[in-house]
Amino acid sequence: MNAEQSQLGEQARNGRRVLVVDDHASFRSCARKLLESEGYDVVGEAADGSSAVALAAELEPEYVLLDIQLPDIDGFAVAERMLAGDPKLQILLVSSRDRSCYGTLVEQSGAIGFVTKGDLSGVDLERLIG
């Protein structure tokens, strides 16, 4: 194992495990690349809410990058179910829509923050999910 692999393995053990949830494969791919470039360990991906809830229970990530607009269950309901199973889980909501479209739902969701997909960056990730 080289030094870079060792460092990334250490970061993963230190709670940088992320599950990416979005119904668009292209966004999941971009988010994975961004997260991995920032030292996060993407442990799984889900394209819908039901799969996301099951994967979160199975993979036990520390963070979830969660799209609000999913084909089966909206991200707010997914967040509620995930947090019921693991109250320490850190959820970052994402959407192509502006935060103002959701009124107080973002604050009520238990998520640690919200980022529009177009503004997702390594700086935002570090600021919100450290």
DSSP 15-54: T-EEEEE-S-HHHHHHHHHHHHHTT-EEEEEESSHHHHHH
In a domain, 62, yes or no: yes
In a domain, 39, yes or no: yes
In a domain, 11, yes or no: no
Q: What is the pTM of this model?
A: 0.86
In a domain, 7, yes or no: no
Say yes or no to pLDDT of 122 above 70. yes
In a domain, 78, yes or no: yes
In a domain, 9, yes or no: no
Cβ neighbors of 52 (< 8 A, separation 6 or more) are 19, 21, 46, 64, 66, 70, 78, 82
List the CATH number of the domain containing 49: 3.40.50.2300
Q: State which residues form the domain around 65.
A: 16-129
State the pLDDT at residue 126: 77
State the pLDDT at residue 74: 96
State the pLDDT at residue 128: 76
